[in-house]
Amino acid sequence: MENEAMAANMQSQGVAGEDETCMATPDFASEAEQGLTDEGMACAKAQGLASGNVAFVESQVAAGGDESCDEARDLADGCAMCAGAQAPAGEAVTPEEDSSTNAVEDADSDEFCAHEELVSLLAQQAAGYELLGRLFQREVDAGLLRSLCEGRYPAHTGNDHLDEGYRGLVVFLNHRGERTGTELNVDYLHVFIGNTQDTSHVAYPYESVYTSPDRLLMQDARDAVLAAYRSEMITLVNEHNEPEDHMGFELAFCAVLLRRAVEALTAGNTARAIELVEKERAFVRDHLGVWAPEFAADVKRIAQTGFYRALADILLGYLEVDTATMEAVAAELGE
Amino acid sequence: MDNVDVLERLHSVARVADAFEAVPGNQRVLMAVLQACREPQTSEELDAIMAPILENNRSVHSAVELRKVLEDHGGIRYVKSDEEELAEAKMRDAEENGEVEIPEIDDEGFYVVSTPAPGAWQLTEAGQAYLDGDPVGAYARDLLETREPQYAPVYRELLELLSEGPATKQEVDKVAESNPLTAEPRMYGGHFVGELEKAGAAEWDGAWAITEYGRTLLAELAATGRE
């Protein structure tokens, strides 16, 4: 069955199996989306991420609005027929167990189930990218901090970076106090914007800085990223005049690609879904994967709060898991 | 109490008074916090007290920052709850033993994000002494007896106006500026109502209104005939 094949495929890649892969994504997608909405930002729309002052505006895709958002959230909540993508570890059904049940009896149901699993998986990956993108784009506000506290973080994902990141994040959240928000704002400034002349003590969140010989802004990487955005008819609306190769935007772009893949799959356009998944894989490989490790190392070195040190680990872990997951998804879609 | 103790006490009370100078324009909200903290208050409870006051004073300081100012100046202190103490001890132990702190994991394999019972803000001895010194009355006395005794009639007229009901800025200006005392040097209504606000006798809530203390002050002015 396709869903079994997919799970087996993921395991063969050395990645956590079907349920474990989903476990690698914290179960905070819907809460986080709600938090974003509460703070006056557009929720993580199915057609892309829009977030307050800094947003992607898609010039071609029909607006999905909140209905699309709800739809995506519903999809992310998983297929009732499947062994739930978000099922707790203890309740997750292994492929073997699944095959021994009578829940899915005919080939059509199997195909539908696998399709829904893919949609769910892609939506969940997109939600993770949206949240990560938001966390790097600007400071954590009260609503987002509240949402993070309501999130669920798996202790054992099978990825060392994610494990360390989630542990560090929860330790930080468990020691939060009334001044935590202020501390995070100060640390965001300290780490990503800088309050020193010593540039080695700032983790500038731009790909160009990490990939150009002189560590300058607006270099080749920015042009390449801009071209990637334009290839999907996406325009960056950016009141802060941040370069397009900002970490937050690159992560948000991955979310847009995966949300569109969800739409394509839902509409039965598998060819388009494959194209989008391949684009996302290429973008991660050619951009995020190139500079994220050094950037994350700088964040861990410079950050004064456990929050941003944990975020650096989560970023690395998420990219690693996503790379393997999307490879499996691409293989599944290609069959 | 020997002289050293007296000096230390005076110094600590003066530090509390300095908090009001550190964040000018926030006298009312700071005083409300001090008054409220005569009984233990959680941050959430203080937020509820402070929010309506901060709504109208256009302060750049948040409630959290203002509490920090009072704490730094020794007026209030935060007493952690037992759960907060326990969490802090756990972190301290892990650091001292060079261990990594592992949060609790639930039956489903997820970390537990805990929300410990909140501690409480309490008035310090210095904060208590500051309040016992009747700072609000002291400001008004200083204003009317030392700094601007010549304008006592203007202040009384303004308090009389406000005692009749909330007044607009224009109405305040009209009363203040029609008094011959304000002609030379030219003085405007904003100065007088601002001083009344600092003295805790008037407050802005979409219009200028008299406070309970303002009514007391008006009665005192009328009774003593300070004009």
Q: What is the residue extent of each domain of chain A?
A: 2-334
DSSP label of A153: E
Q: Given an 8 Å threshold on Cβ–Cβ distance, is A171 in contact with B112? A: no
Strand partners, B121: B41, B78
What's the whole-model pTM score?
0.74
B110 and B21, same domain (yes or no): no
Confidence of residue A188 (pLDDT cuts 50, 70, 90): very high
3-state percent helix, strand, coil for chain B, nearest multiple of 5: 65, 10, 30
Strand partners, A48: A45
Q: Which of A91, A170, A181 sits opposite B113 (nearest CB)?
A: A170
Confidence of residue B2 (pLDDT cuts 50, 70, 90): confident
Q: Given an 8 Å threshold on Cβ–Cβ distance, is B91 in contact with A182? A: no
pLDDT over 80 (residue B211): yes
Confidence at residue A111, expressed as pLDDT on a 0 to 100 scale: 67
B152 and B177, same domain (yes or no): yes
B45 and B126, same domain (yes or no): yes
Of residues A71 and A150, more confidence is placed in A150
Confidence at residue A274, expressed as pLDDT on a 0 to 100 scale: 97
The predicted-structure confidence for A281-334, as pLDDT tens digits, reads as follows: 999 999 999 999 999 999 999 999 999 999 999 999 999 999 999 999 999 998
Q: Which of B43, B101, B103 sits opposite A178 (nearest CB)?
A: B43
B69 and B14, same domain (yes or no): yes
Confidence at residue B59, expressed as pLDDT on a 0 to 100 scale: 82
Tell me how far apart the alpha carbons of residues B171 and B202 are, in angstroms, rounded to a whole number.
14
Q: Given an 8 Å threshold on Cβ–Cβ distance, is B88 in contact with A175? A: yes
The predicted-structure confidence for A38-87, as pLDDT tens digits, reads as follows: 333 323 322 232 332 334 544 333 333 333 333 333 323 322 222 223 33
B104 and B44, same domain (yes or no): no
CATH code of B150's domain: 1.10.10.10
Confidence at residue B1, expressed as pLDDT on a 0 to 100 scale: 61
Q: Given an 8 Å threshold on Cβ–Cβ distance, is A23 in contact with B111? A: no
CA distance A89 to chain B (A): 6
B104 and B147, same domain (yes or no): no
CA distance A149 to chain B (A): 6
Confidence at residue A109, expressed as pLDDT on a 0 to 100 scale: 67
CATH for the A2-334 domain, from 3.30.830.10, 3.40.50.1370, 1.10.3480.10, 1.10.3210.10? 1.10.3480.10
Q: How many domains does chain B have?
A: 3
Of residues B1 and A104, more confidence is placed in B1
- Give one DSSP letter per residue of B62-117, joined into a string: -HHHHHHHHHHTTSEEEE--HHHHHHHHHHHHHHHTTPPP---B-TTSEE----PP
User: Which residues on A lie below 8 Å from B80 (Cβ)?
Assistant: none
B25 and B128, same domain (yes or no): yes
Q: Which two tokens stand for residue B187?
A: 């003085």
Instruction: Select from A159, A161, A160, A167 the least CA-distant residue to A16.
Output: A159
Q: Given an 8 Å threshold on Cβ–Cβ distance, is B108 in contact with A182? A: no
Confidence at residue A335, expressed as pLDDT on a 0 to 100 scale: 76
The whole-chain average pLDDT of chain A stands at 75
Q: Are A265 and A147 in contact (CB under 8 A)?
A: no
Question: Residue B185, preceding bond cis, omega within 30 degrees?
Answer: yes
B126 and B73, same domain (yes or no): yes
The predicted-structure confidence for B55-107, as pLDDT tens digits, reads as follows: 877 788 999 999 999 999 999 999 999 999 998 898 899 889 999 999 999 99
The complex scores an ipTM of 0.77
**Range(s) of the domain holding residue B215:** 135-224
Test mutation, A174, A180, A309, chain B, max B CBs within 10 A:
A174
Confidence at residue A15, expressed as pLDDT on a 0 to 100 scale: 31
The answer to which of A77-81, A162-166, B24-28, B140-144 has the lowest mean pLDDT is A77-81
pLDDT over 80 (residue A106): no
pLDDT over 60 (residue A34): no
Q: Which two tokens stand for residue A98?
A: 């699944």
Tell me how far apart the alpha carbons of residues B21 and B23 are, in angstroms, rounded to a whole number.
6
Q: What is the mean pLDDT of residues B201-227?
A: 87
Q: Given an 8 Å threshold on Cβ–Cβ distance, is A175 in contact with B115? A: no
pLDDT over 60 (residue B151): yes
Q: What is the mean pLDDT of residues A15-22?
A: 33
Percent of chain B with pLDDT over 70: 98
